[in-house]
Amino acid sequence: MTDNAPDATADAQKKSMDDIMALCKRRGLIYQASEIYGGINGFWDYGPLGAQLKKNLRDAWWNDVVLMGCNGKTGPNGKPVRIVPVDTCIIQNPKVWEASGHVGGFSDPMQTCRQCKKLFRADHVPDLLSKSSWVCDLAGVTEKDEQESILVDGTAALTWTKKKGSKLAPGLAVFRDQANEIIATLKSSTAPIPLTMLIRILGATTEKPSPWPCPNCGGELTEPREFNLMFFSYTGAVFDEENKVYLRPETAQGIFINFKNVVDTTRVGVPFGIAQTGKAFRNEVTPRNFTFRSREFEQMEIEFFCHPDDTADWYAFWRDWRMKWWQGLGLAGDNLQLREHDRDELAHYAKEGAGTSDIEYRFPFTAPGFGELEGIADRTDFDLRQHAEHSGLGDKLKYFDPTRGELAKNGQPKGERYFPHVIEPSAGLDRGVLAVLCEAYTPDPGRPSKVYMKFHPRLSPIKAAVFPLVKKDGMPEVADKLRAELVQRFGRYGAIEYDEKQSIGKRYARMDEAGCPFCFTIDGETLTDGTVTVRDRDTLAQERIALDAVGDFLAEKLGL
Ligand code: GAP
């Protein structure tokens, strides 16, 4: 067995996304949606193993957050953390999205290339250019090299345009309308030209409106235009503006609009949280990196309501606890980081100075950088105030807190009416599954499968496998009885696999790729001395234990 590389960055870079995606397909974890029709960009289906893995992650969140109230941790107020669940509709009254700001503002600035017609998110263009094949070729570097400081000689750039340039970037202005002017500029340059400037010279783009040429072909990009990310449909038979509805782009608003319902119909009092998991939809312009940026995805969101004075304490509590939660599921090394947002990254609802941080994972496609897994934001009272105003409920949406306010003559507080502030830990379930997959993927040239999935036992979609060594001599019967016993005891946590096909080595290899932590083999000795072989996925160690001790052994190893 090969140990994990000590350097997490190198490890993440070494793992190939293509290999991980191939394993996901091969083992029934994730399939391209509508695959038999050629697929549909930005949509993914989960197969038998993937559906169970995703359910295990969702269940872990639900259990630890909702049922166990942050696993029994006390909050900054010294009391248990109270969270209640809801399950709200994907389609709501469209006024919800006007109030939340999504109708007016949930958009990305987009640019189209006038030559190749490709569409780009304006803020992605510089990054895409630095990785584009024509820029890398022009600079004589690979995409991973640092390009900021690269200088290119004018005559070398000219030679490039005559040789490979016209094939790699036919859209560049030097091959179109302004050829003579650009060639003259390059010829007259006495000093080497910074790469970033050279890109603009060849593309003949001005600072405004777009300072960059197309990352794909070098062509001219249009001005950025706003593109709303919400999917829409219509209710009823008449497809007009009046009947237009939106598919929710976040589950959070379903929580805010039910805040009053929950307060009025349960015994919860501020501080408390409302949680839900569910699908969200965004018409992402550039869905990419497997399930990382999809158009249909699932979120796990908590809106935690607290008194405005307590916001900073609760923000710090949630930020730290959420980080620990992901670490507890095996994303424990340097591949996970907590990053406080810079000021210019703050969302529309975030108050100046309010905390916002991301829990980020180093995916193979972001390495050495990181990609967001969960955001923890101080949303202030923005959403409740917006809904108070747009619904016409006004102050009725305020919370009456009987524990606060001036003291009355009887020494009891008179109570205080206020809009609670909200701390929102918002996690992506599909991104979580992807991080778990990338972390678990462990190449090991020494074993027949060449790779195994080192899932945390809590998340493994298959909890154990039972094999008869051969399909005779009563072994299948003993194995099947053990399988049935394990299903009774552990079936609610994941699958118990039974397999009698092919050689035992091939069956182990299959389970390694599926990330099954323990395989139990019934062989000749089982029939004589009542022991079985246990094979450990991670260490490859094999030991014999009593057949009737298998259940307790598994319970201890899985921590159940
Ligand atoms: N309610 C706040 C909210 O929705 P967000 O940062 O836009 O905030 C929260 O989304 C989480 O949802 C992200 O951290 C990410 O894990 C996940 N997410 C967002 N867009 C996604 C997409 N297109 N595909 C997959 N997951 C996505």
Q: How far apart are CA 97 and CA 103, in angstroms?
A: 6
- Does 327 share its domain with 357? yes
> How confident is the model at residue 238, as a pLDDT?
93
Q: Which of 380, 409, 439 is a domain's end point?
A: 439
Angular region, 380: left φ>0, alpha ψ -120 to 50, beta rest: left
- Does 320 share its domain with 374? yes
CA 314 to centroid of chain Cα atoms: 24
283 falls within a domain? yes
- Does 305 share its domain with 221? no
22 falls within a domain? no
2 falls within a domain? no
Q: Which of 201, 225, 249 is a domain's end point?
A: 225
36 falls within a domain? no
Q: Which of 419, 439, 459 is a domain's end point?
A: 439
Q: How far apart are CA 149 and CA 152, in angstroms?
A: 10
| Domain carrying residue 265 | 52-94+234-439
Distance 60 CA to ligand 1 centre (A): 19
Edge-first strand order for the sheet with 225-228 is: 119-121, 107-112, 225-228
- Does 500 share its domain with 428? no
> How confident is the model at residue 2, as a pLDDT?
36
Q: How far apart are CA 303 and CA 88, in angstroms?
A: 14
The position carrying tokens 């000021």 is 343
Q: How far apart are CA 208 and CA 195, in angstroms?
A: 19
pLDDT in tens, 147-175: 667 888 888 999 999 889 988 998 898 88
> How confident is the model at residue 4, as a pLDDT?
39
- Does 272 share its domain with 413? yes
Distance 323 CA to ligand 1 centre (A): 16
Probe residue for ligand 1, chosen from 57, 372, 374, 386 as the CB with the greatest number of ligand atoms within 8 Å: 372
- Does 435 share its domain with 451? no
Q: How far apart are CA 358 and CA 318, in angstroms?
A: 12
Ligand 1 atom closest to residue 426's alpha carbon, by position in its atom list: 9
Strands 462-468 and 495-498: parallel
For residue 474, count other CB atoms closer than 10 A to its CB. 11
Q: What is the CATH number of the domain that holds 387?
A: 3.30.930.10
182 falls within a domain? yes
For residue 148, count other CB atoms closer than 10 A to its CB. 9
18 falls within a domain? no
- Does 205 share its domain with 306? no
506 falls within a domain? yes
Probe residue for ligand 1, chosen from 44, 229, 297 as the CB with the greatest number of ligand atoms within 8 Å: 297
Locate the DSSP E strands across 261-370: 272-281, 296-306, 336-340, 356-361
- Give 526: exposed, middle or buried? Use CB within 10 Å, 0-12, 13-18, 19+: buried
Q: Where are the alpha helices (DSSP H) in 266-395?
A: 311-328, 382-391
How many distinct structural domains can be found in the chain?
A: 3
Probe residue for ligand 1, chosen from 431, 436, 437, 438 as the CB with the greatest number of ligand atoms within 8 Å: 431
Q: What is the CATH number of the domain that holds 511?
A: 3.40.50.800
Q: Where are the alpha helices (DSSP H) in 232-295?
A: 252-256, 259-265
Probe residue for ligand 1, chosen from 426, 433, 438 as the CB with the greatest number of ligand atoms within 8 Å: 426
> How confident is the model at residue 6, as a pLDDT?
46
CA 399 to centroid of chain Cα atoms: 33
The position carrying tokens 């803020």 is 123
- Does 415 share its domain with 495? no
Kindly report the backbone phi and psi dihedral angles of residue 72, in degrees, each rounded to the nearest multiple of 5, phi listed first: 80, 5
Residue 284 beta carbon below 6 angstroms from any ligand 1 atom: yes
433 falls within a domain? yes
- Does 242 share its domain with 328? yes
Low-confidence stretches of the chain (pLDDT beneath 50): 1-6
Taking alpha carbons only, the member of 317, 211, 326, 208 closest to residue 271 is 317
Residue 282 beta carbon below 6 angstroms from any ligand 1 atom: yes
- Does 124 share its domain with 194? yes
Residue 301 beta carbon below 6 angstroms from any ligand 1 atom: yes
Residue 293 beta carbon below 6 angstroms from any ligand 1 atom: yes
Cis peptide leading into residue 468 (ω within 30°)? no
Distance 303 CA to ligand 1 centre (A): 15
- Does 423 share its domain with 304? yes
- Does 154 share its domain with 298? no
Residue 431 beta carbon below 6 angstroms from any ligand 1 atom: yes
Closest residue to atom 15 of ligand 1, CA basis:
428
> How confident is the model at residue 346, as a pLDDT?
59
The position carrying tokens 């999935």 is 453
Ligand 1 atom closest to residue 373's alpha carbon, by position in its atom list: 16
